[in-house]
Amino acid sequence: MDENKEQKEFWNDLKGELWVELQTRIDPMLSVFDQKLFEVLEAQSGERALEIGCGTGTTTLKMSECLGPSGSIHAVDFSRPMICRAQERASEASVDHADFVEADAQEYDYPSGEFDLAYSRFGVMFFQDPVKAFSKIRNAMKPGGRLGYICWADKSKNPWISEPAQVAKEFLELPKPPGEDEPGMFSMCREERIFEILEKAGWSEIKVEWFESTNMIGKNAEDAADFISRMGPMSEPFSEADEGQKQKTLEALSTFLKDRETPNGVQMGFGNWVVTAKRL
């Protein structure tokens, strides 16, 4: 039985292709989280790293610089469109100390006791059985190996995604959000659940830090509306809508986002958890 079948299908269809298409837009928006994650990880030259949910390879390439040619990265993702793009980018950048595996991080048979650190930027919220996944990741660490990841906090702390969705639902039939703790963008929004999962999975020295920022989602209201219509809960219904619905949605989003324009583009709030732990 494939426990994570629904998520695999989701990220191998339109969603994975959209993230490849939007990669150059997404990277600048999320770069502040890369910086924060790498600060807490304190990766050292020559270390071996395991990346969970490498996506299009942005964090893989940044980590490769931290580890240097004497280090290595084992990057795992179950989205074929995204991991293929990650491989292309690594080849283009002549990064030969990263290898990529198309696999479900929850089911993958990791090499045992091999890695100094494991990390993820928004790649751990989609496990059907997160305790199982984090137990397997822990077993792949050397004694003293450390974990660091960033995940989304509550929707109310992420107006960049929640507020435009409220505008769009007047014109689009948005999908029903997952139930509490079910796989999805906000499955780890509860701080207590993070502790519960990692403790059950055998991790120690667990820390959860609140991290918020105000980031640019577009250079102006129209640009931001176009971008946000292809992100988050409205991406699929928007792509399937007729041209009239799309136009109405974009007009409403542009009007809403106009008030959030600044000299530095449309700025909105992001709220996240930065999680660290160790294998003792």
- Is the pLDDT confidence value at 1 over 60? no
Highest CATH level, class, for 5-278: alpha beta
Q: From residue 124, how far is each of 9, 21, 54, 128, 209 by CA, in Å?
A: 16, 22, 10, 10, 16
- Give the CA radius of gyration of the chain: 19
Q: How confident is the model at residue 231, as a pLDDT?
A: 87
Residue owning tokens 């990064």 = 95
Question: How does residue 10 score in pLDDT terms, banded at 50, 70 and 90?
Answer: confident
Taking Cα atoms as reference points, which of 86, 83, 79, 29 lies closest to residue 62? 86
d(CA 78, CA 152): 20
Q: pLDDT tens digit string along 177-230?
A: 899 899 999 999 999 999 999 999 999 999 999 999 999 999 999 999 999 999
Q: How confident is the model at residue 2, as a pLDDT?
A: 61
Q: What are phi and psi of 24, to 5 degrees?
A: -70, -20
Mean pLDDT estimate for the chain: 95
d(CA 14, CA 53): 17
Global pTM value:
0.94
- Class of residue 153 by CB neighbours under 10 A (exposed 0-12, middle 13-18, buried 19+): buried
Residues of 170-209 as b/e, b for ≥16 C-beta within 10 angstroms?
ebbebeeeeeeeebbbbbbbeeeebbebbeebebeebebe
Name the 3-class secondary structure at 242.
Answer: coil
Q: How confident is the model at residue 205, as a pLDDT?
A: 98
